[in-house]
Amino acid sequence: DAGVTQSPTHLIKTRGQQVTLRCSPKSGHDTVSWYQQALGQGPQFIFQYYEEEERQRGNFPDRFSGHQFPNYSSELNVNALLLGDSALYLCASSGGPGLSYGAFFGQGTRLTVV
């Protein structure tokens, strides 16, 4: 059973560019959340997708947007990249009501903005 998979694993972009990160949830999971983890910090919640809609959003600007597809996979898009967007981006999937079963994370995408 494949867990949560993310692509690419590493990415280098220039300031002002746009980036798309991808995530496939664990089999049987229908909810995908995205987190940003800056160096030396805990992960910060960006947003959550369920039934192809954004259900919750953290304190991130509109430059961060996402999408969920009918097969439950998801994309995170970041426009007009800033140096401060350099971080590990984590995707987490979950199923069932709330988080009673926990959230399962992928290996992350390391984004470096130069």
Partner 1 sequence: AQSVTQLGSHVSVSEGALVLLRCNYSSSVPPYLFWYVQYPNQGLQLLLKYTSAATLVKGINGFEAEFKKSETSFHLTKPSAHMSDAAEYFCAVSDRGFQKLVFGTGTRLLVSP
Going residue by residue from 37 to 76, which x/- string records binding to partner 1, judged by CB under 8 A? ----xxxxx--x-------x-x------------------
By C-beta, is 43 or 78 nearer to partner 1? Answer: 43
Strand partners for 35: 45, 90
> Measured between alpha carbons, how far is 12 from 41 in angstroms, rounded to an integer?
20
Question: Is residue 25 a contact point for partner 1 (CB under 8 A)?
Answer: no
Q: Measured over all CA atoms, what is the biggest interatomic distance in the chain, rounded to whole angstroms? A: 40
Give, as one character, the DSSP assignment of residue 83.
G
Q: Does residue 36 belong to the site contacting partner 1 (CB under 8 A)?
A: no
Query: Would you count residue 106 as binding partner 1 (CB under 8 A)?
Result: yes
- Rounded CA-CA distance 76/21 in Å is 5
Q: How far is CA 109 from CA 50, 55, 96, 100, 114, in A?
A: 21, 23, 26, 26, 16
Q: Which of 7, 102, 112, 114 binds partner 1 (CB under 8 A)?
A: 102
Q: Which residues bind partner 1 (CB under 8 A)?
A: 4, 6, 31, 33, 35, 41-45, 48, 56, 58, 90, 92, 94, 98-100, 102-108, 110
